[in-house]
């Protein structure tokens, strides 16, 4: 089976390809010569993921999935959420986003937060959603140099190291994205056995 992952992120494509059996081949947007940025302008992760998957399905007719992720902070009523990538502004860096987050949370005692990934799949014309979350908290100073995004300030529950301090391979076993991917894979494997 060939399945499109509606992303240009080579790391994400490699990550999921490694988890898959040989009978499913993952293609990225670059393999389909889709070079434009697919808009992510909806107000929920679900809508963004579905929009991206449909966008590629409508252009190619292929089976496709897309993901969208947000950091949801309890004391900020779920912000930055779907706006995580552009929290401090459209062309701002990961560091600017962390800066804004720490500013908004200054003095907060309830620092609970979760990463949430939603994957939308269009398979044989039907649509499916999968979700993966990891619970944790936002610490008040950056720690570690690995990972990306909000990793230096995110401490997963039960861990004393941030996502930027633990090895990538370990992060990839417990992360929101890994959990959502795992659900997608289980679904695909069941379908393949039908």
Rank residues 27 and 100 by Cβ distance to ligand IMP and give the closer one. 100
Find the part of the chain contacting ligand IMP (CB under 6 A) among 28-36, 104-112, 147-155, 185-193: 147-155
Active site includes 68? yes
- Are 75 and 105 in contact, with CB atoms under 8 Å apart? yes
Which residue number is nearest to ligand IMP in terms of Cβ? 149
User: In the bound complex, what is the minimum distance in angstroms from residue 131's beta carbon to ligand IMP?
Assistant: 13
Q: Computed over its alpha carbons, how large is the radius of gyration of the chain?
A: 17
Can you tell me which of 42, 75, 76, 85 binds ligand IMP, judged by CB under 6 A? 85
- Are 20 and 27 in contact, with CB atoms under 8 Å apart? no
- Strand pairing class (2-5; 64-73): parallel
How many residues are listed for the chain in this entry? 194
Can you tell me which of 120, 151, 153, 155 binds ligand IMP, judged by CB under 6 A? 151
In the three-class reduction of DSSP (H, G, I as helix; E, B as strand; rest coil), residue 5 is classed as strand
Can you tell me which of 84, 113, 165, 180 binds ligand IMP, judged by CB under 6 A? 84
**Cβ neighbours of residue 167 closer than 8 Å, sequence gap 6 or more:** 146
Q: Tell me which residues touch ligand IMP (CB under 6 A).
A: 68-71, 84-85, 97, 115, 147-151, 163, 175
């Amino acid at each position: 089976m060939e399945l499109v992952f509606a992303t240009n992120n080579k790391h994400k494509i490699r990550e999921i390809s490694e988890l898959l059996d040989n009978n499913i081949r993952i293609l990225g947007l670059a393999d389909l010569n889709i070079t434009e940025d697919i808009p992510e302008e909806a107000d929920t992760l679900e809508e963004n993921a579905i929009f991206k998957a449909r966008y590629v399905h409508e252009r190619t007719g292929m089976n496709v999935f897309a993901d969208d992720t947000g950091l949801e902070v309890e004391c900020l009523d779920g912000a930055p959420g779907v706006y995580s990538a552009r929290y401090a502004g459209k062309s701002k860096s990961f560091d600017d986003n962390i800066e804004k987050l720490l500013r908004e949370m200054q003095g907060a005692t309830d620092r609970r937060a979760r990463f949430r990934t939603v994957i939308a799949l269009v398979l044989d014309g039907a649509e499916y959603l999968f979700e993966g979350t990891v619970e944790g908290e936002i610490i008040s100073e950056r720690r570690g140099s690995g990972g990306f995004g909000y990793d230096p300030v995110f401490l997963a529950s039960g861990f004393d190291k941030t996502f930027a301090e633990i090895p990538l391979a370990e992060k990839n076993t417990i992360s929101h994205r890994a959990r959502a991917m795992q659900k997608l894979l289980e679904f695909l494997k069941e379908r393949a056995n039908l």
